């Protein structure tokens, strides 16, 4: 792919997901041109506990060959070669990729494309495919302002499948690509099925069942609210979840959500809740003005922040009551595209 497309980060995520499936991947550092590229791959590899094979600033073709030999002798069943970014019009660097392909004969060549490249991504994909014969595409940075229309064009022009989309920095943010879900996001209709899958991957089944029972009995309190906030963090943050919610996803292009700011707000919310007594957390109805003033002083915030949280809590209770039915409806196929 091009420089800055997110190849190294994606390489680590892909290896991390393969490890979760029981594989023993090895990363091979073949970006010998960009300063600190090898170090970046080592840092990414260590994040997911994946070993990295490197030979410094040598010949990428030779490094690839030696990486395969090393993997064979050290029990690795998957090798992922991280190549340098290059312009598709740079003949010398494109020839280098062709030499790597001819030497190691990879089972798959994956093209990594930045979603922010827009429709020019089609030209990039077409050129890489004609010169190398790519087997699949990974589109990164789909958590940005773009809606991903280029993904549909790339598939139409090259005939190659979009395998994954990168939706953020976490391992779980490398998502399998589903055309109908992408179309739903592009049309601003949300992506309830992916939201459900993220929830199921992060939530403890017993806890989820207990939470559903509490909602049915209207027993949702600030202790549950704290736990729910932790689950939101695990699922990729507020902006990630909002982009998948029907009715909210269409508004995301007009709303800028700073995840750092959201993180600060979460910490402020936690400090307010921790300033409550056990009785207040368990029974929000007893929060009178006197108690709210005390909580604000304890958390070091303005009373308006406490009032805002209480209002958000009431709204959250209403939304949470609707979630079990909405999720069951999605699983039964009620959230389908009208074409």
Per-residue pLDDT, 314: 81
Estimate to the nearest angstrom the gap between the alpha carbon of 288 and the chain centroid: 41
Q: Among residues 191, 301, 285, 280, which one has the least CA distance to residue 240? A: 191
Contact 138, 80 (CB under 8 A): no
**Could you give the CA distance from residue 171 to residue 165 in angstroms, rounded to a whole number?**
12
pLDDT score of 170:
76
Cβ neighbours, 10 Å, residue 285 = 7
And the tokens for 311? Answer: 């209002």
Q: What is the pLDDT of residue 168?
A: 76
Q: What is the pLDDT of residue 25?
A: 97
Which residue's structure tokens are 């459900």? Answer: 196
pLDDT at position 223: 84
Per-residue pLDDT of the chain (339 residues; tens, 9 = 90+): 998 899 999 999 999 999 999 999 999 999 999 889 999 999 999 988 999 999 999 999 999 999 999 999 999 999 999 999 988 788 899 999 999 999 999 999 999 998 887 778 888 899 999 999 999 999 888 775 555 667 777 888 888 888 998 877 777 788 888 776 666 655 554 444 555 555 555 555 566 566 556 655 556 788 877 777 666 666 555 555 555 544 444 444 444 445 566 667 778 888 999 999 999 998 888 999 999 999 999 999 999 999 988 888 887 677 666 655 544 554 444 434 332
pTM confidence score: 0.59
* Cβ–Cβ under 8 Å, residues 49 and 60: no
Helix axes 289-299, 303-331, angle to 10 degrees: 90
Q: Would you list the DSSP string of 113-175?
A: EEGGGTTHHHHHHHHHHHHH---EEEEE-TTSS---HHHHHHHHHH-PPEEEEE-SSSGGGEE
Contact, 83 vs 108, CB < 8 A?
Answer: no
> How is residue 264 written in tokens?
């600060």
Q: Which two tokens stand for residue 223?
A: 């202790």
Q: What is the pLDDT of residue 250?
A: 43
Q: What is the reported pLDDT for 103? A: 95
Cβ count within 10 A of residue 232: 15
Q: Which of 46, 52, 3, 56 is nearest to 28 (CA)?
A: 52
What pLDDT was estimated at residue 272? 93
Q: How far is CA 49 from CA 24, 32, 41, in A?
A: 10, 22, 12
Judge residue 244's burial from the number of C-beta atoms within 10 Å of its C-beta, 0-12 exposed, 13-18 middle, 19 or more buried: buried
């Amino acid at each position: 792919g091009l420089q800055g497309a997110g190849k190294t980060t994606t390489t680590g995520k892909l290896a991390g997901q393969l490890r979760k499936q029981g594989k023993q991947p090895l990363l091979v550092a073949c970006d010998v041109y960009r300063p600190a590229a090898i170090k970046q791959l080592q840092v990414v590899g260590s994040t997911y506990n994946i070993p990295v094979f490197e030979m410094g600033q040598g010949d990428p073709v030779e490094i690839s060959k030696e990486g395969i030999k090393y993997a064979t002798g050290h029990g690795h069943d998957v090798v992922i070669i991280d190549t340098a970014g290059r312009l598709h019009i740079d003949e010398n660097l494109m020839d280098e990729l062709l030499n790597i392909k001819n030497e190691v004969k990879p089972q798959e060549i994956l093209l990594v494309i930045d979603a922010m490249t827009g429709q020019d991504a089609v030209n990039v994909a077409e050129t890489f495919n004609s010169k190398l014969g790519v087997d699949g595409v990974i589109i990164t940075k789909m958590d940005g302002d773009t809606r991903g229309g280029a993904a549909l064009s790339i598939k139409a022009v090259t005939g190659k499948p979009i395998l994954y989309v990168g939706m953020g920095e976490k391992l779980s943010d490398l998502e399998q690509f589903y055309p109908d879900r992408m179309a739903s996001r592009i049309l601003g209709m949300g992506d309830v099925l992916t939201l459900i899958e993220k929830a199921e991957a992060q939530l403890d089944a017993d806890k989820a069942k207990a939470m559903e029972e509490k909602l049915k009995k209207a027993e949702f309190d600030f202790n549950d609210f704290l736990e729910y906030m932790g689950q939101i963090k695990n699922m990729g943050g507020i902006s990630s979840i909002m982009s998948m919610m029907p009715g909210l996803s269409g508004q995301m292009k007009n709303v800028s959500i700073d995840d750092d700011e959201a993180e600060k707000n979460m910490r402020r919310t936690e400090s307010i809740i921790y300033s409550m007594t056990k009785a207040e957390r368990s029974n929000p109805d007893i929060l009178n003005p006197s108690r709210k003033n005390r909580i604000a002083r304890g958390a070091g915030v303005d009373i308006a922040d406490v009032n805002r949280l209480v209002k958000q809590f009431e709204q959250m209770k209403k939304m949470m009551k609707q979630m079990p039915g909405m999720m069951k409806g999605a699983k039964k196929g009620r959230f389908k595209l009208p074409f």
